[in-house]
Each structure stands twice: as structure tokens, then as C-alpha cells.
């Protein structure tokens, strides 16, 4: 036997998505897809109902409620966030799972949310959310936020 010590490889076991896995909308997915996010949102909003969005607003100052940090955000994105945060409660129950989760994430400013938090808002099982959005197919850019 050799007296040279053998390296001990670190085995990294990928984290399996579960109810505490966070999800977000991956805007890079939208950039690399053949779809345009603004066009998609305009068409979705027109199906939902009457909305007044001023396309001339380029940026808005947004104050983070937790840190009091002021940051500039896209005006369209801000108006969409405000609109989706004001949707009636019954909208989530009648929308498809993908649309409901997409709307919840938009309303939350695309801040990552756990499957449990999303499930509570869309009135669906967190297991269904995990299975739907953790698979190989990406729906509307919604992805799990996995530790690397």
C-alpha cells in the first residue's frame, strides 16, 4: 500500500426541492426565449380586465420597507407589481396554477417566496407547486432558487 494520503472528495448531494424551497421569475429565461415579457404581460392584463398603464414612465424610486433602501426600478414593472398586488382574492382560485404563481411572484416584486408561502396565496398544495416548478420544463420563467 502506498503511504501517500488519498484525497477525500466532497460529495455534494443536490438539494431536493421541497415546501421550503424558494421560487422566483428568472428574467434571463425571458431574455433567452422567443417571448417578450412586456408583450406577454400586456396580453395577459388585457384578458384580466381594465388597466391603465402609462408606457411613458421609465423609472420609479422604490423604497424597501425592510431596509429603507431607495432603488430605481422599471416603471412598467412597478405598475404591473402594484396591479397584481390588488387582484381580488377569487382571481387566484379561478386562474391556472402557472398564471396564479406568476401573478403572486409579480405582486411580490419577484422577491423569492417559498412553496408554502405561494401555496397559501394561490390556495393550492405546496407539493403541487414544487412538482410543477421544479421539473425540467420551465413555465413562464418560474424556477426554484437552489443553493449552489
In a domain, 81, yes or no: yes
Q: Contact at 8 Å (CB) between 101 and 142?
A: yes
Q: Which of the four pLDDT bands, split at 50, 70 and 90, describes residue 39?
A: confident
d(CA 66, CA 138): 31
d(CA 64, CA 124): 29
Q: Which of the four pLDDT bands, split at 50, 70 and 90, describes residue 50?
A: low
**Reduced to 3 states, what is the DSSP secondary structure of residue 47?**
helix
Q: How many Cβ atoms sit within 10 Å of the Cβ of residue 58? A: 9
pLDDT tens digits, 77-105: 777 777 778 777 777 778 889 999 998 99
> CA gyration radius for the chain?
19
In a domain, 16, yes or no: no
Number of domains in the chain: 1
Geometric angle at alpha carbon 59, from 109 and 27, rounded to 5°: 45
Domain with 62, as residue range(s), is 22-145
Q: Contact at 8 Å (CB) between 113 and 104?
A: yes
Q: Which of the four pLDDT bands, split at 50, 70 and 90, describes residue 61?
A: confident
More confident residue, 65 or 116: 116
Is the four-CA dihedral 33, 39, 42, 46 of positive or negative sign? negative
Does residue 125 surpass a pLDDT of 90?
yes
In a domain, 119, yes or no: yes
In a domain, 39, yes or no: yes
In a domain, 130, yes or no: yes
Distance of CA 49 to the CA centre of its chain: 22
Q: Which of the four pLDDT bands, split at 50, 70 and 90, describes residue 68?
A: confident
Mean pLDDT of 60-89: 79
pLDDT attached to residue 25: 93
Closest CA to 141 of 44, 31, 52, 1: 31
Distance of CA 95 to the CA centre of its chain: 16
Amino acid at each position: 500500500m502506498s503511504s501517500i494520503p488519498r484525497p477525500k472528495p466532497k460529495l455534494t448531494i443536490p438539494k431536493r426541492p421541497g415546501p421550503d424551497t424558494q421560487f422566483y421569475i428568472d428574467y434571463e429565461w425571458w431574455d433567452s426565449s422567443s417571448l417578450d415579457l412586456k408583450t406577454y404581460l400586456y396580453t395577459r392584463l388585457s384578458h384580466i380586465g381594465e388597466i391603465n398603464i402609462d408606457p411613458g414612465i421609465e423609472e420609479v424610486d422604490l423604497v424597501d420597507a425592510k431596509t429603507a433602501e431607495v432603488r430605481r426600478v422599471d416603471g412598467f414593472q412597478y405598475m404591473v407589481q402594484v396591479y397584481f398586488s390588488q387582484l381580488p382574492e377569487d382571481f387566484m382560485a379561478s386562474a391556472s396554477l402557472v398564471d396564479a404563481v406568476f401573478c403572486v411572484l409579480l405582486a411580490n416584486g419577484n422577491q423569492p417566496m417559498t412553496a408554502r408561502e405561494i401555496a397559501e396565496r394561490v390556495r393550492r398544495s405546496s407539493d403541487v407547486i414544487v412538482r410543477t416548478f421544479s421539473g425540467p420544463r420551465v413555465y413562464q420563467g418560474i424556477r426554484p432558487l437552489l443553493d449552489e
